[in-house]
Structure 1
């Protein structure tokens, strides 16, 4: 008798299922819901890749979604969370920018054939880098984010645009590359809610190396002038308008610290202690500062140097 070798039992999938994401929509204004992650770090096995906030708006004629997460499974979890609030279809999606933790969940909404928009610069990078983001997150999370086929936006917004979506006034607000190329925020003037994306970090140190710090400082002047009642940041906790002032102080202090180093003839790495000293108590408001300060100084230093000389 020939005895065939037995196949080894299949290992359970390491990919997270939609039910593994505990998404609880929080109504921050009538019809406006924030879906906030408790994570304050980069995508990991512990947070299953969910480290960015999302939001949605229920209108009279469908749902507007702002950012969809870092994987198809995460997008499905968001879709199910929306379904607990309303049976309206998702008709519009705004992807705040090209970093994968904010848009790879688009695929979960393909069935409702939504209009999906991003900035042109973000869209170009999404097309070029989407598969790379999928692989990076899979490695960072030890497989938790699983496989995703990127679903790209089908429209671009590059100028401030006001639209009526199901009776809700929606202002799509480009940043001119403040945090990253093609950033978009959404302003809801009727409820005074700002869906900021990554141009606002509240209680997490901002990532500045893919953007333009000087432009970011100027953009915050515009956002402060809106006087929002609620700010949904890309990363961190829900805040009011004070978070914009605090973030602007952080960025101005970063810039001025580097400026001092440039004027003293210091190299970028020699400027880090100056920046750290200038930050003072601001550091307490931004966990993860020490993990980011070296890179933040190194990537902002050339812009400061160019502005001076």
Structure 2
């Protein structure tokens, strides 16, 4: 397993993972084709070419390079694949992407991708090389997220279920369910964690993210109990080990999502333009 790390992991800069056993597999393809070209180069240096692409979830910064793998099977969780078919080509999508990822605004005006084919997690697992296992989580970071676990090597590719050194974003999921997902990942006791954003790390990255979400949930519970706004509790939020993480403004969004969960309001579980 090889991690292709894309910059510092801030907005628009996601990582990919390569499995070099048969079939040679690419897990996630970054935001833009020119970013995904690094994936092709990394495989080429090893005398390989992609034979399978797996998208861990729907977000554009993990699927934008799909178009570079024409003729290669591209598969994803059925909820992810269905959302991709509805999302790709939406007229308002480029403007939304430019707002979320302004540093790439000029390249997002004509953003496009290739939708994955829907395959249940068990089918994805059977398509992967060797003893790789697929772990499924719904309504955590997004509508559906997959992680890939290599038990012999104790290496875990998390997709966006883990951010390392970068503040996560739960706008399309549920903070509580994401926090529970982290407990399941921690229970694997991985030696190496390959996050969707940020540098490869050890199990401490999962523990630190779990601590961060505990603090977000505590802030949301305080806001609910004392009828405070999310902004009010965010103003006095103690990030603990997350101090210094990139994109700290995302904490307000995460508190808002957690507060909506606690108060029983609707949440945005699918990617919407």
The alignment's TM-score, normalised by the length of structure 1, stands at 0.77
Quickly say closer, same or farther: Cα 1:246–1:285, change in 2 above 3 A. Answer: farther
SS of the residue aligned with 1:234? strand
The answer on 1:70 being equivalent to 2:31 is: yes
Q: Specify which of 94, 106, 109 is matched with residue 66 of structure 2.
A: 106
Match of 2:259 in 1: 301
Is the CA contact 1:71–1:147 (under 8 Å) kept in the aligned structure 2? Answer: no
Count of aligned positions: 260
Q: How does 1:79-158 map onto structure 2 within 5 Å?
A: 79-87=40-48, 89-110=49-70, 113-132=71-90, 133=93, 136-137=96-97, 140=102, 141-144=104-107, 147=110, 149-158=112-121
User: In terms of Rg, which structure is larger?
Assistant: 1
Is the CA contact 1:193–1:228 (under 8 Å) kept in the aligned structure 2? Answer: yes
Of the structure 1 ranges 257-266 and 152-161, higher mean CA displacement relative to structure 2 is found in: 152-161
Quickly say closer, same or farther: Cα 1:160–1:175, change in 2 above 3 A. Answer: farther
**Shift of the alpha carbon at 1:147?**
4.6
Match of 1:28 in 2: none
**Comparing both chains, which one has the higher relative contact order based on Cα–Cα distances under 8 Å and sequence gaps of 6 or more?**
2
In structure 1, list runs of 5 or more residues that go unmatched: 1-31, 44-50
SS of the residue aligned with 1:117? strand
The answer on 1:53 being equivalent to 2:12 is: no
Match of 1:254 in 2: 216
In structure 2, list runs of 5 or more residues that go unmatched: 266-273
SS of the residue aligned with 2:131? strand
Give RMSD over aligned pairs. Answer: 2.3
The answer on 1:175 being equivalent to 2:137 is: yes
Mapped to 2, the partners of 1:161 and 1:106 lie a distance apart of: 17
Is the CA contact 1:175–1:182 (under 8 Å) kept in the aligned structure 2? Answer: yes
SS of the residue aligned with 1:122? helix
**Shift of the alpha carbon at 1:137?**
4.8
Is the CA contact 1:73–1:145 (under 8 Å) kept in the aligned structure 2? Answer: no
Is the CA contact 1:107–1:148 (under 8 Å) kept in the aligned structure 2? Answer: no
Mapped to 1, the partners of 2:255 and 2:214 lie a distance apart of: 12
